[in-house]
Structure 1
Amino acid sequence: MKNTFRQIFKGYFNFSKQDRSAVVALSVIIFLFLAGNIIVGKIELNPSSDFSAIIKAFEEWEKQTESENESRTLFHFNPNTITEEALDSFNMPAFIKRNMLSYRSAGGKFNKTEDVRRIYGMNDSIFSLIESYIRIPAAAIANNSEDEPGLKVAAKPTFQVFDPNTANKDELLNTGFNQFQASNLIKYRESGGSFSQPEDLLIIYGIDSVFYNSIKSFINVAELPEEVKVDKTVSIPIRIELNSADSLDLLQLNGIGPVYASRILKYRSLLGGFYGKHQLLEVYGFPEETYHAINENLTIDSLRVEKLRINFAGYAELIRHPYFEKRNVEAILNFRQNNGPFSSHEQLLTEGLIDTASFALIRPYITCR
């Protein structure tokens, strides 16, 4: 029995010369790894360079950049004469500012507001934000017109009292109207409309309460001649303010029944309020002919629009808004987590978090505060 056990033990632990060499080599390798781990752990790596000054300078640069972004704002400017220093404080993407200065250096001039749209990199969204701040004096246009026969010279800005029933397009532009607003007002008059009180301007598409409040001190509605006075026997059309109206108010409008009234209120809740009457066409199933029939009965108080705080809003709050898609929300939250809070609305566009069309829709509903 003992011999049997010994034979088994000897046979199990009997190694050939090659096996013994392999065991020795493996033991040496394990020993070297263990020794190397101990030695490396005790080595102190002293960097040859001190990066603390560089890190400190970078942090100061970030603080300065944030401060500069916060100081930028929108203000009236002449694109033909604004200095580089003044333009630097204007809230617009830096590459467009550089392109504007390069265009001027090459001899380019801006004869009218729409010419700024030609600057490389300028898109519809950015132009719509700055259009009302562009001021090109009539004197500059007159000088340019010497080289361009037939160029219409705009009236010199006076910002004087005007009558919306008689003012021409140039007078409206000089009072602060943009091209879109002035054209809509004139079209309204040409279709037979008139203004009996200053508040009537709110029925013009493109004129909201913010713009109206900025110009109402210049509005002087003269008494209408007898031939165009409103017939006192004819009922004055009702006006409904969309952001404060309830279902009973909406039911007074032609073509609006309980179903559409309910849909309008639900969509208004999802949006946070309407900033334009045209948004009614986004209501599910809302007929275009109904919209045109009630358009003149509607006004918009954009001050009632509820803003989304993109630096604090969570996923559920953002995705609830009709203008935000899932990929936009995820991109915004990821950017905020990796880069900190947004300093301006335009970062959504310049960082590629949202496309131009979506940005134009969502901008009235967001704030960085």
Structure 2
Amino acid sequence: MSVPFKHIIKQYFNFSKKDRNAIIILASFILIMIVAIIIIDNIQLKSRYDFTEFEKALEEWENSRAISEISYQTFFVFDPNLISGQKLDSLLIPGFVKRNIVNYREAGGRFASPADFRKIYGMNDSIYEVIEKYIQIYKKPKTKTKPVKLNEEVVLDFFDPNQASFQELTKLGFNSFQANNIVEYRKKGGSFKIEDDLLKIYGIDSAFFLTIKKFIQIKIQAPPIRKEDNPAFLLVELNSTDSTELVKLPGIGPVFASRIIKYRNLLGGFYSKQQLLEVYNFSEETYSDIKNSVLADSIQLKKIRINFSGYRELIRHPYLNNNQVNAILNYREKNGSFSSVNQIRLANLVDSTTFYKIKPYLNCR
């Protein structure tokens, strides 16, 4: 083996100096690589440690730290049942949790206590722990109310304070003191021209007045007409007169006389002379000229028996339309006979204007 080695040495020195240096560098590099391989193969690095628990703990710590920082900046006292969508957006909790809160409320859900907040999907313990102290559920205060005992004998109905008796007033809800004051006021010559005049009666306050106001129906009293003031005075009663009498009135010719008679027959008579203004093309000027020469005797009105009348009879009346007639008939069919004409208004079968116009023509007999 020595011979080859000597031969190698001899050959080595036959190379130029530059070649010899290159051989040394190459040999050194090869030697280093061999040593490195040997070291790597002999040193066992054990790095198979499980960092899962550590990473989880670190993540929870970072989340709690972030939520803690947020709580000092964005959380405030709120009621989850009442908080608006805009204010809810200002809470830096996960967006899907906010959406679930809104969806829960829209579905009819309510939060009775802060603990109910845990029912929201996505609300974990770490978030709830931070916001719990900010949740404040508003609860309506429980007030003790005394039951109101209604007098079973009280029947709210339309009435005229100028005509109602003491007994009628007490049945309408007036106490004895109020009813007596109304009667005494009338005995002394007092009268009620408008509904608000009732407030002049001692013992009637505004609260009670508001409960009965819609049932007050004051009849307008026509001023008395004295024939002796004018010897040539002509007074015509509209429900019993004929065309020959009507044409004697100023501004009334045969055409208007005929229209008045026809309209009177359709109505069933006039209960007010102002109804003349409903006659076709009857002017205010003409009415002004004759209003002191005419009167209407309501006793002569032809009444409609609403418990027996059918569609044809009701629809013929100028004050009733198809819908109103059907409403009256349907109500009668479902509820039986009318015990009072006022039921038509109380049941909203007709509007108030129509009711006051048609009421004088109706009865329940």
Q: What TM-score do you get using the length of structure 2 for normalisation?
A: 0.46
TM-score computed with the length of structure 1 as normaliser:
0.45
Which of structures 1 and 2 has the bigger CA Rg?
Answer: 2
Which of structures 1 and 2 has the larger relative contact order (alpha carbons within 8 angstroms, sep 6+)? Answer: 1
